[in-house]
Structure 1
Amino acid sequence: MQWKENGAWVSADEKRVKLDLGTECRERGYSYYPYTVELLPGERTLVRLLLRSNAEEDVFHLIPCCIYGDNNAESVHFGEFPLLTAERFDETGKEDPFRSSYWSFRADRAAMPLSALCGREETVAVTIDPYTEQEDGGFLHNGVFSMLPNGCGVTMGYENAPISFINKRTPGPVKSEYVSSARACGRIYVAFPETEHERENPRLAIHHIIRAEYLLRREMPKHEKSAREAAYACLKSFTELNWDSIAMEYTNRSCLPPADTVLRPWRNVVEIGWTGGGVLAYPLILSERLFGEEAERLLSKARSGEEILEQIVAAYNEKSGFFNDLTHPIEGSGSPVNGWWTAFGLTRDVHCAYNVSSALHYLLKSILFLKEERKDYPARWLKRARDVADTAVCLQRGDGAFGYTFSISEKKVVDWEGFAGCWFVPCLTYLYALTGERKYLQSAEKGLTYYWEAVRSLTCCGTPMDTWKSPDQEGNLAFLRGARLLYECTGEDKYLEALKDAANFEYLWRYGYRTRPDYKPLREGWCSCGGSVTSVSNPHIHPMGMIVDSDLYYLAAHSGDSYHRQRAEDGTNWILQTLELYPQKTGYGDYGVLSERWCPSDGLVIQRDSNGEPYSSWYSYNLWAASAAFEEVCERALEELDTAAHGV
């Protein structure tokens, strides 16, 4: 036990700091010791419990949502986000404020409040209740930290150090909450690889600890409206509010309450996949099945899912063999590929795998749905889908990698490094289901095998183009979907194993407990449990994790493990609950509107209202975010409809 004295960590006074360590409890795959730390009244300080691994080399540090090893330090641009490294200087010799051998965060920054060290033989971790109740009815925030070479731990009280990580490229001063007297509880874990699969991939042992803590801490979000009601509200909002009849485009919209609550366009959405049209096209098509003539009536005012897919197909680039990243250039740019992400400096004048494969994914998913519904679709959709897929297969590296960016003037990979290409795996599996051509199945299998290593080692990095190849949650969604589809197609057990690994990696980003956000609209009545953080670079919950809830329900059914059903239900309930914040708690919009940013802790709380008051979200109606929610609630509503029709 240590405490802060004159700005330095020193051994704590045993007369004032009491550690009560309980007896060992053994479970399958792990054991743990419950503990209580008590600080008796006196001078304000921080108290920390520090664990060290016996191994100094090959230790992988983990704080969910915050630290995954060194956070891919070798590939990261100067001044982006926290990197756990002893090297404080970048390749030019400039000191980077985001490079440090020690990082400490508020515990509720983590999807599970723990810090862990994953070694070859064992994984050790320590958890802490994120809040300590006070006699006056208030509470204190506790913390978690990682320290090189082999230290991890928790703090009573907290300190954001060596800086406060507010947002990518946005460091802030050290922020802390010292305590004069308090009591905190948690558990110290030791987990061992249990199966042959875990022994080959020992970092997977952390998932035993995450699961154990989840079962202790879960608090499911509550909602009032059904998935069908939510789906109709989303459809209505897209067609009557989001659609700009002057520009003839779907949009992102914003306002600044309380002075201004009118949502006005701030960007037309012309992207084909990620953050763009494809993610909306698919749920719009689902809504036609759900609402029939009413959906047709609403869509007659805007653009249907089929019309969006026509735009994507028309964006095919004969020279590169891929879709252009935009349906048409952003005003003034003249480029068919340079979207909003270009401003972040990682990609320019190239096709991005994330955009192209996301668009292809939703095109093929829509074709499969229409085929299952015995509805016609244009033959050119499948032809262009095959053209793009054939290019991906042609360029696929021998080890299975698909690439991160591609030339726009020839069939060539420009940058191989990154996880984004994994989105081609579910695309190729869909295409195999549609055509029966084994080359697509073989390519998908080879791709999944390649990307599986990053999932097993907890190092999925480099999917979104605005996060500078940080560890992220979004790429694994492709792996999770791909593993599920390959298991469906082949019945091979290894793909069920891959699906479990992907689900467990998702849970390193998906909150398993309720946090206490500092500001409106989340301060009262909202529950973080089930919401997933986007990346280390963007410290907020976003709705994209919900698109794999169907796959998690599938995993629960085929593995017989109710844990995955609980996790899926959390996601469904989280999105239904969050939609219901509008408009009473958000102060703007209507039911069916959704922002992309939900701040469960102190990260990315950069929005201010017109009075200058902090706001734990964003006054923005983001098309892609609302589309992810729309997809989830449509699939749940259709599932309920089919279940009722079959009398199950």
Structure 2
Amino acid sequence: MQLNVALETADGSPIVDSPDWRIDLEVTPVGADEHAVQLRVQYDGAAAADARVRLEVAVPAEPYWLIPGLFYGANRDPACARLYPRYAPGELDAETLIADRWAFRADRAATPVVFAWGDEGGVALSVGANTSLGLTGLGLGAGPDRPATIWVSLPYREEPFSYVGEPRGVDALADCYHWEPGESHEIHASLWTLPADRHSYAPVLQVLRDRERAARPPVTPWVDIAEAAELTAYGLWRWHYREDPAVLIETALFDRELAGDLGDRGDRLAMHVAWVSGIPYAHALLRHGRRVGNPSYIEAGTAVIDHITSNLTSAGTFFGTWYAGKGWKQSWTPVPGGLHARTLAEATLFTLRAVAAEPVDHPVWRDAALSNLEFALAAQDAEGNFGGMYHLETGEVLSRLGTAGLTWVGAMAEAYELFGDERFREAARRGGRYYASFVRNEILCGAPEDVDLAPTSEDGYAALFAYVGLHRIDPSEEWLGLACHAADWMLTFRYSYDVRFDPETILGTYGFRSRGADQASPSNQHLHNYGLICTAELAALSALTGDDSYATSAAEHLSFARQFIARHDGDFNARRGMVTERYYQTACFGPPGALLTLSHSWCIGVLLLATEDVLTRPELAALS
């Protein structure tokens, strides 16, 4: 395993055999798998020069790639309709975002490290996201005229084009350092040798997280857990609840004058049954209302769940979405009549939780949950696949691609706990066995409705629900191992470090910390807080395994999410209780350091769910 150092000009042209540069490289073993890399570069030219340093290492042929939160294998299934970077040997096409080499600015990655595995073993190269030379770059690639390689560039240069959220490549973003005569820099990196098992990323990421934690204090939330619960309950009720019919609208603008103050000029007057709105967050509002004795919250949460559970499709499922003026419709898919498995299963799961939590009986809720469960039992094939998309009228399974159906495993497990029907436990087991190969092979994809078959952090949340739930109803090392594997994969999306923001941006001005945040997906490169939905599951894993790292990650995510809750009207130009959907940590959809100026019901809702769990479940109290 040979580590090479190269120099290049601003446009990427190599600097070869120049007497103006002196390079000293020292590679020292520091453990069984890790080598410390110390690189010193000095420039002795007569005039200033713009240049970039590149550290690269050859990797096994036909590798499996990983950049945490950013690149997974080929990164995009050929069947995926969403366009974002995809690796394909010997190809290069900006219009379809396909290339045989890719390099990215480090703030796109949840941890600044690039991995590659072959049949005989793997290699990883890690470095700080920022060095004295600027923002780092991370690269991978192979081609007919060059070996498979991973690299870091100092500072970054994206190749062969950049992805900024558009369905095509744009001119590559790059930075370059301006060297003065006599200037020198010392860079520290790590080179890792790994077994062929792709899951060998997990201990490397744990080491890198621990080092970041030791180097910097934890995130300081703006508010404590109780205040976060109070604010988010108010925000969900005040800005997202509508009475006739009872819905939680998905988005509400910060600028209420523009929106007509609860009018229809900017707010998204729509509701999914789960995922980005609906039952999970109505359940959270209802729980909070019961705990603090607020009749308005109790009435609103109850009414929303009543509305959704009273309107089922002819196939016996929940609908996908409700729209003002249009009523109940399908999911977000171009497929006519399509209903998304993850959304239906999540709605069912949280209906079950609402039924179990309520001190009064809700027969309509129970019957709706059972109707959806019966539908899923019928949709599950002999292998255990629940399907990923269904037709809202006929119930036909329209697709069995991806792992969106894994969410049903968690719903079936909790249905067994609530009703004791052995069919639900058997369906959960069969589904758990079917989807196990996807977990072990690190190829979870398809959970959100809006990115088709892309891998996302949300696929990890669904898998964690599934296998923690399975272990509760069928304790075994198999399910516990899969739960840990799913959690490890999910945490590849969790930022282990703090992105540096320009102090003149809003995130920079407020001292926003990205550690503990989740990248949404390689397709949607922004930070979000959806991981709060499985706070209890991560804590349960720590209790079951004795490994505190899962609970620590849950606590960090909860701390991250308690930044940028509007504490009063006008706080960061929002209204009291509002929470944004997107924090822009990199050049995708918006400028780094900005945030999306609208409040989203799910962003408020998952935070309310997590805070209610911490406040009411003694085993979670330490997460505060």
Taking structure 2 as the reference length, what is the TM-score of the superposition?
Answer: 0.89
Any conservation in 2 of the 1:312–1:359 contact (CA below 8 Å)? no
Equivalence for 2:556? 570
2: CA distance, partners of 1:247 / 1:312? 10
**What are structure 1's unaligned runs of at least 5 residues?**
134-138, 194-201, 607-613
* Structure-2 residue corresponding to 1:393: 377
**How far 1:70 sits from its partner (Å)?**
1.0
Determine if the alignment matches structure 1 residue 25 to structure 2 residue 30: yes
> Which of 28, 39, 44 is the aligned partner of 1:36?
39
Structure 2 runs not aligned, ≥5 long: 180-184
* Structure 2 counterpart of 1:278: 279
Matched residues in 2 for 1:277 and 1:289: separation? 18
The amino acid of 2:388's aligned partner reads Y
Report the residue type matching 2:572 in the other structure: T
| Worse overlay, 141-150 or 59-68 | 141-150
1:216 is displaced (CA, Å) by 0.9
Secondary structure in structure 2 of the residue aligned to 1:104: strand
Alignment correspondent of 2:507: 522
DSSP 3-state at the match of 1:155? strand
The answer for the alignment partner of 2:182 in structure 1 is: none
Task: Work out whether residues 101 and 142 of structure 2, in 8 Å CA contact, stay in contact via their aligned partners in 1.
Answer: yes
What is aligned with 2:203?
208
Shift of 1:484: 1.0
- How far 1:419 moved relative to its partner? 1.7
Residue type of the alignment partner of 1:173: D
Q: 1:622 aligns with which of 600, 604, 614?
A: 600
Distance in structure 1 (CA, Å) of the matches to 2:569 and 2:195: 48
1:6 positional shift: 7.6
CA contact (8 A) 1:540 1:597 kept: yes
- Matched with 2:105 is 106
What's the offset of the Cα at 1:88?
Answer: 4.0
Q: Give the secondary-structure state (helix, strand or coil) at the position aligned to 2:537.
A: helix
Q: Distance in 2 between matches of 1:643 and 1:527?
A: 23
By how many angstroms is 1:234 displaced?
0.9
**Structure 1 letter corresponding to 2:6:** Q
Match for residue 226 of structure 2 among 225, 228, 249: 228
Counterpart of 1:65 in structure 2 is 69
More deviation in 209-218 or 252-261?
A: 252-261
Secondary structure of the corresponding residue to residue 449 of structure 2: coil
User: Aligned letter for 1:25?
Assistant: V
Q: How does 1:22-421 map to 2 (within 5 A)?
A: 22-27=27-32, 30-40=33-43, 42-53=48-59, 55-57=60-62, 59-77=63-81, 80-86=83-89, 88=91, 96-133=95-132, 140-148=134-142, 150-169=148-167, 171-181=169-179, 182-192=185-195, 202-218=197-213, 219=216, 220-244=218-242, 249-251=247-249, 252-255=251-254, 265-292=266-293, 295-296=294-295, 298-299=296-297, 303-318=299-314, 320-326=315-321, 328-332=322-326, 336-338=328-330, 341-342=332-333, 345=334, 347-370=335-358, 375-421=359-405
Change (3 A) 1:169 1:476: same
Code of the residue aligned with 2:348 in structure 1: it is L
Between the two proteins, what is the percent identity of the paired residues?
Answer: 20
2:479 maps to what in 1? 495
Q: Does residue 459 of structure 2 align to residue 467 of structure 1?
A: no
Q: Is the 8 A contact 1:2 1:11 kept in 2?
A: yes
How far has the Cα of 1:244 moved from its partner? 4.1
Task: Give, in angstroms, the shift of residue 32 of structure 1.
Answer: 3.0
Q: What displacement does 1:210 show?
A: 0.8
SS in structure 1 opposite 2:533? helix
- Once the two structures are superposed, residues 352-371 of structure 1 have per-residue CA deviations (whole angstroms, 9 ceiling, x without a partner) of 1122112111101212223x
Q: CA deviation at 1:43?
A: 1.7
Q: 1:642 and 1:4 mapped to 2: Cα distance?
A: 51
SS at match of 2:163: strand
The 10-residue stretch of structure 1 (508-517 or 64-73) with the greater mean CA deviation from structure 2: 64-73
What secondary structure, in the 3-state scheme, does the structure 1 residue paired with 2:35 have? strand
Larger mean Cα displacement after TM superposition, 279-288 or 502-511: 279-288
Once the two structures are superposed, the pairs formed by residues 472-491 of structure 1 within 5 Å of their partners are: 472-491=456-475
Question: Once superposed, what is the RMSD of the aligned Cα atoms?
Answer: 2.7
Q: Distance in 1 between matches of 2:483 and 2:253?
A: 38
- What amino acid is the match of 1:587? N
Secondary structure, aligned partner of 2:525:
coil
> What one-letter code is carried by the residue in structure 2 that aligns with 1:535?
S
Cα 1:155–1:642 change in 2 (3 A) is closer
SS in 1 for 2:385: coil
Distance 1:39 1:263, change over 3 A: farther
Task: Give the superposition deviation at 1:19.
Answer: 4.2
2:432 is equivalent to residue 448 of structure 1: yes
Q: Distance in 2 between matches of 1:396 and 1:95?
A: 39
Moved more, 530-539 or 631-640: 631-640
**Among 528, 531, 534, which residue is 1:545 paired with?**
531
Cα pair 2:36 2:188 within 8 Å, conserved: no
In 2, the alpha carbon distance for the partners of 1:248 and 1:316 equals 16
Secondary structure in structure 2 of the residue aligned to 1:464: coil
Write the distance in 2 (CA, Å) between the matches of 1:225 and 1:382.
36
Asked whether 1:636 is paired with 2:621, we answer: no
Cα drift, residue 24 of structure 1: 0.6
Q: Distance in 1 between matches of 2:291 and 2:168?
A: 44
**1:299 positional shift:** 2.4
CA pair 338-453 structure 1, distance change in 2 beyond 3 A:
same
Does the 8 Å CA contact 2:269/2:323 hold for their aligned counterparts?
no
Separation (CA, whole Å) in 2 of partners of 1:262 and 1:256 = 8
Corresponding residue for residue 611 of structure 1:
none
Which residue number corresponds to residue 593 of structure 1? 578
Q: Deviations over 1:446-468 (max 9, x none)?
A: 21222222222222111212113
Deviation at 1:260, TM superposition (A): 9.4
The worse-fitting range, judged by mean Cα deviation, of 489-498 and 420-429 is 489-498
Q: Secondary structure at the match of 1:513?
A: coil
Q: How far apart, in 2, do the equivalents of 1:517 and 1:47 lie?
A: 23
CA contact (8 A) 2:95 2:168 kept: no
2:102 alignment partner AA: W
- Cα distance per residue 1:473-502 (max 9 Å; x no partner): 112211101111111222211111111101
SS in 1 for 2:78: helix
8 Å contact from structure 2 (residues 64, 73) kept in 1: yes
Out of 176-185 and 474-483, give the one that drifted further. Answer: 176-185
Which letter maps to 1:23?
Answer: T
Letter in 2 for 1:348: P
For residues 395 and 248 of structure 1, the distance between their equivalents in structure 2, rounded to whole angstroms, comes to: 30
Q: Secondary structure at the match of 1:538?
A: coil
Contact 1:168–1:538 (CA<8 Å) still a contact in 2? no
Q: Secondary structure at the match of 1:180?
A: strand
Out of 550-559 and 4-13, give the one that drifted further.
4-13
For structure 1, which segment, 65-74 or 175-184, has the greater mean C-alpha deviation from structure 2 after superposition?
Answer: 175-184
**Cα gap change, 1:223/1:408 in structure 2, threshold over 3 Å: closer, same or farther?**
closer
Task: Find the aligned partners of 1:398 and 1:567 in 2 and give their Cα distance.
Answer: 37
Q: Report the Cα offset of residue 290 of structure 1.
A: 2.6
CA-CA distance at 1:540 after TM superposition: 0.5
Counterparts in 2 of 1:184 and 1:95: CA distance versus 1, 3 Å = closer
